[in-house]
């Protein structure tokens, strides 16, 4: 199994879901779009519209795939991701160089838990769950 297959297996098999993706990798984008199409779901490119489905809306996502070492550590980006993803849903972060502590320092403050890595040859995927504020 390669990292793209692993990401695809993490996407919920629920119809009418909103799946966000931030990546420059066309193979990953196409795979996510195919998976979403199987379940009548929709993918949205988070590089547009300030991490929202529409420029004026604040709709939520059931799952987000985020593929950027540099951007994921930006606190403003992290806050946008925290806003955009529904409670009790998952964020998958693809990275080539980050450690668990790098993400925990930012994302635990934003109510993400279960920050767990899955290692592959050329990528590391962190799965994080958005939780309720305490």
3-state secondary structure of 56: coil
Among the residue ranges 10-19, 47-56, 84-93, the one predicted with the least confidence is 47-56
pLDDT at 132 exceeding the cut of 90: no
pLDDT at 47 exceeding the cut of 50: yes
CB atoms within 10 A of CB 121: 6
Q: Where are the domains of the chain?
A: 3-130
Torsion 129-115-50-24 (CA) sign: negative
Lookup: tokens for 4: 């793209």
Rounded-to-integer distance, Cα 91 and Cα 108, Å? 13
Which pLDDT belongs to residue 53?
Answer: 60
Which pLDDT belongs to residue 133?
Answer: 62
Residue-averaged pLDDT of the chain: 87
Determine whether domain 3-130 maps to CATH 3.40.50.150.
yes
CB atoms within 10 A of CB 118: 15
Model confidence pLDDT, tens digit, residues 8-42: 999 989 898 889 899 999 999 999 999 999 999 98
Tell me which residue of 134, 123, 98, 133 sits closest to 28, measured CA to CA: 123
pLDDT at 55 exceeding the cut of 50: no
Going by pLDDT thresholds of 50, 70 and 90, the confidence category of residue 86 is confident
């Amino acid at each position: 199994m390669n990292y793209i297959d692993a990401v695809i297996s993490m996407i919920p098999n629920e119809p009418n879901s909103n799946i966000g993706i931030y990546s420059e990798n066309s193979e990953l984008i196409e795979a996510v779009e195919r998976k979403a199409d199987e379940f009548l779901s929709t993918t949205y490119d988070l590089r547009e519209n300030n991490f929202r489905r529409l420029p004026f809306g604040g709709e939520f996502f059931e799952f987000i795939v985020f593929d950027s070492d540099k951007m994921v550590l930006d606190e403003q980006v992290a806050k946008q991701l925290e806003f955009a993803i529904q409670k009790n849903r998952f964020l998958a972060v693809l990275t080539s160089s980050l450690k668990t502590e790098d993400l925990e320092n930012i994302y635990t403050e934003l109510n993400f838990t279960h920050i767990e890595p899955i290692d592959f040859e050329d990528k590391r995927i962190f799965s994080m769950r958005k939780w309720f504020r305490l």
